[in-house]
Structure 1
Amino acid sequence: MGVVEALVGATVFDGETRRHGVAVLVTDGRIAAVLPEHAVPAGAVVTDLGGGLLTAGFIDAQVNGGGGVMLNDGPTADAMAAIARAHRPYGTTALLPTLITDTPAATAAAIAAAIEAAPTRPGVIGLHLEGPHLAPARRGAHVAELMRPLTEADADQLVAATEAIGVLMVTVAVEQAPPRLIRRLADGGVVVSLGHTDATYDDVVRAVDAGARGATHLFNAMSPLGHRAPGMAGAALDAGSLWCGLIADGHHVHPATLGIAIRGKRGPGRCFLVTDAMSTVGTEGTTFLLNGRTARRENGRLTLDDGTLAGADIDMAASVRLLVERVGVDADEALRMASAWPADYLGIAEMRGRIRAGLQADLVHLSDRLEVKATWIAGERDEA
């Protein structure tokens, strides 16, 4: 066993309860124990955090870019690492770099980059392919001409890559991915999420029965909830096994609708936070390119020339604060939506998402106003 560090002086939210007067012991990149401060072993290096809240690091399943880098502009391991570095000051200690709909060559490059990056670049835990198997009718800011049906060859490629990548999440439209291929992906370890779809409620139910596990950015780019036609949005809230990503920037989904979804989601699946962040996070930039088209940043919104929202200009800590301050979500639940619930959804709860002995020491120290003061990835500290 290496050096033991004892983190003391902060309230600890372990993912279930807040604990006072306790120390989090970290050694060899993992949490060794959570115990009363008076029980810290002799010889431990004691770090006094001086108040605030210590909680599990945030996990973001949908990150297109950050720090001036867009994954689509050059899908490499270094690009993924740069994106992870850009989001770390905002509490994100694990993320899935996300490639939006692109060419087969770009998809293959992203898969190869994730295989290289996931075990070697801090904060990168896999890959999210948001497309190209999406519905042109619900394209959002994606390029419809690049969308196509999921094939047997595609499924074989994705399943073959899953083990090497770690976490592979793929967003598909129900119209473009038949149940037999969703089952093939799910059985092969791929996290299948439904999105950019005009599917009916019954279509979604069949996809869920086939193994679909999530809904990508609930309400956005999908058939809406209607009183006679529940659509994709209604099915996502009603299907207990389906987890729902939410963009909490105040632009993609109205705060009142966020609250309705969080209160109304049938369990055990939960609503969890994603940023859908673009390259602007962590920069002062006002424009960027998205599949060759210029997107503009203004007043917290990112839009193409036709007004279509082009991803989000928000980080995970700001998303947590929005839920608490504008939606009225309990702070502990907002923190779970940024850590414990995405860990459960992605199948990595035995490694991340809570403060518990044996888990990786991915942590975030927050002020009383939920602003990031420091983060740890595998026990390595970085000041915000």
Structure 2
Amino acid sequence: MANIHGNILTPGGWIHGAVTFNERVAGISGSQADPQGNADDYILPGFIDLHVHGGAGKDVMEGGDAIHRIAAIHARHGTTSLLATTMTAPPEDIDVALAAIGKAVHARGKNEARVLGAHLEGPYINAGKLGAQPNYARAATLAEVKRLEALAPLRVITVAPEIAGHLGLVRELANEGMRVQIGHTLGSYEDGVAALDHGATGFTHLFNAMSGLHHREPGMVGAALAHAQFAELIPDLLHVHPGAIKTALRAIPRLYCVTDSTAATGMPDGEYMLGRHTVHKCMGGVRLPDGTLAGSTLTLDQALRNLVGLGLDLADASARVSTHAADYLGLEDRGRIAPGAWSDFVVLDRDLKLKAVYIEGDRCDLNDA
């Protein structure tokens, strides 16, 4: 049994005291206190990233052991669990990626974030709104999705609801227990509302690769802002203007943050692979040769700092890189520091720099490459 001491963010508020734990939290001792009243470290729930394409020079679509390298680089930045995210690609490429993800779900390595399953970002998207996705978009069938689900747990699936047959599929997938997100879409406000009525529960990288807000044509962004309880957003301050982030924060109660990170995360400037695309990292951004943003190099510790920089208090920012994502997946034992929950913590100094990461009770070596 181990313990750590500091300002602990619990579901009931800040506790100045200690967490006692093994792989799960055994107990929390101390008293409620404003962390501004002392100089001790912050202890927050481990970060949860539901949209990860790569890192450390590796891409999820490579299959093999790439996912382990990716899980390790993100763990060093405070991510304690994640969804490995696929690209729109030929069926054989997706099969390779999902087979590797399926194995990784049951085999967390030393200093690695827990892989909770897959986020299938396509191929069931609109070919007219690919963003950085390769042009292998196609319509979905329930039979194909079930075949893919046999390779790896599909925790989230992105769908363009305006494609013929997809609205009915949204309801079928929701009935199967999958979280269906609206994304890479040219759909209208009405398409978005209909998809939510049929069981869709979120929006993929809000504002990016979807029809925008206009006062006479609210678009998919308007549907999200008017009706969503959950949506993911990339807060790297490149994908979305700070003003738009603040708008979404006011409109969507459980807006949560993702990195949409690529193989370039944690790597020097240069060329990297994103699925079948070659992308270029330069000056903190990742782009296709034509300048289109192609994922990010964001990590969730930086996302937390960005949110605080936008004016969120630390508890709210923490929820948006952890608790809301856990709630979106229906995980009551992650994304919070409470007795019985997994011992997933990050320890931050007063400047919000990482000092320690614990994943299911194991302390991560932040210097491990």
* TM-score after normalising by structure 1: 0.88
Matched, 1:361 2:343: yes
Residue 341 of structure 1 aligns with which residue? 324
Q: Residue 30 in 1 paired to residue 11 in 2?
A: no
Number of the residue aligned with 2:34: none
CA distance in 2: counterparts of 1:247 and 1:156, whole angstroms: 29
* Cα separation, 2, equivalents of 1:143 and 1:299: 24
Do the aligned residues in 2 keep the contact of 1:15 with 1:55 (CA within 8 Å)? no
Correspondence 1:1-384 to 2 at 5 A: 4-8=1-5, 10-20=6-16, 22-27=17-22, 29-36=23-30, 51-72=40-61, 74-76=62-64, 78-121=65-108, 122=112, 123-144=114-135, 146-158=136-148, 160-161=149-150, 165-166=152-153, 168-176=155-163, 178-241=166-229, 243-265=230-252, 267=253, 270-325=254-309, 327-348=310-331, 350-384=332-366
Q: Answer yes or no: is the 8 Å Cα contact 2:184–2:209 preserved in 1.
A: yes
1:219 CA displacement: 0.1
Looking at structure 1, the residues matched to 285 and 357 of structure 2 have their Cα atoms a distance apart, in angstroms, of: 27
Q: 1:140 to 1:169 in 2, by over 3 A?
A: same
Shift in Å at residue 272 of structure 1? Answer: 0.2
Answer with 229-238 or 164-173: which moved more: 164-173
Number of positions where the alignment pairs a residue of Structure 1 with one of Structure 2: 354
Code of the aligned partner of 1:19:
I
Deviation at 1:120, TM superposition (A): 1.3
Shift of 1:178: 2.0
> Partners of 1:340 and 1:291 in 2: how far apart?
29
Q: Is the 8 A contact 2:9 2:44 kept in 1?
A: yes
Equivalent-residue separation in structure 2 for 1:180 and 1:174 (angstroms): 9
Q: Can you give the 5+ residue segments of structure 1 that lack an aligned partner in the other structure?
A: 38-49
Letter in 2 for 1:31: V
Query: After the TM superposition, which parts of structure 1 deviate over 6 Å for at least 4 consecutive aligned residues?
Result: none
CA deviation vs aligned residue, 1:97-133 (integer Å, no higher than 9, x gap): 1111111112222222222111212421111111001
CA deviations over 1:10-67 (Å, ceiling 9, x no partner): 11112451111x210102x000111129xxxxxxxxxxxx931011100000000001
Distance 1:260 1:174, change over 3 A: same
Q: Secondary structure at the match of 2:232?
A: strand
Give me the whole-angstrom Cα distance separating, in 2, the residues matched to 1:226 and 1:154: 36
Structure 2 alignment gaps of length 5 or more: 32-38
Q: Contact 2:269/2:283 (CA < 8 Å) preserved in 1?
A: no
Contact 1:205 1:239 in 2 (8 A): yes
Post-superposition CA distance 1:71-109 (Å, at most 9, x none): 12x123x21111110111111010111111111112222
1:177-218 per-residue CA deviation (whole Å, 9 max, x = no partner) reads: 522211111111211111000111111111111111110000
Note closer, same or farther for the CA distance 1:291–1:383 as it changes in structure 2 (3 Å cut). Answer: closer
- Structure 1 residue 5, shift from structure 2 partner: 1.1
Q: 1:157 deviation in Å? A: 2.1
Give the Cα–Cα distance (whole angstroms) in 1 for the partners of residues 50 and 146 of structure 2: 23
Deviation at 1:383, TM superposition (A): 3.8
1:167 offset after TM fit, Å? 5.4
- Counterpart code for 1:63: V
Aligned residue identity for 2:54: G
CA distance in 2, matches of 1:88, 1:16: 26
* 8 Å CA contact retained: 2:201, 2:228: no
| Contact 2:142-2:173 at 8 Å conserved across structures | no
Matched residue type, 2:140: L
Give 3-state SS (helix, strand or coil) of 1:256's partner.
helix
Contact 2:160 2:183 in 1 (8 A): yes
TM-score (ref. length: structure 2): 0.92
Matched-pair identity in %: 38
8 Å CA contact retained: 1:125, 1:167:
no
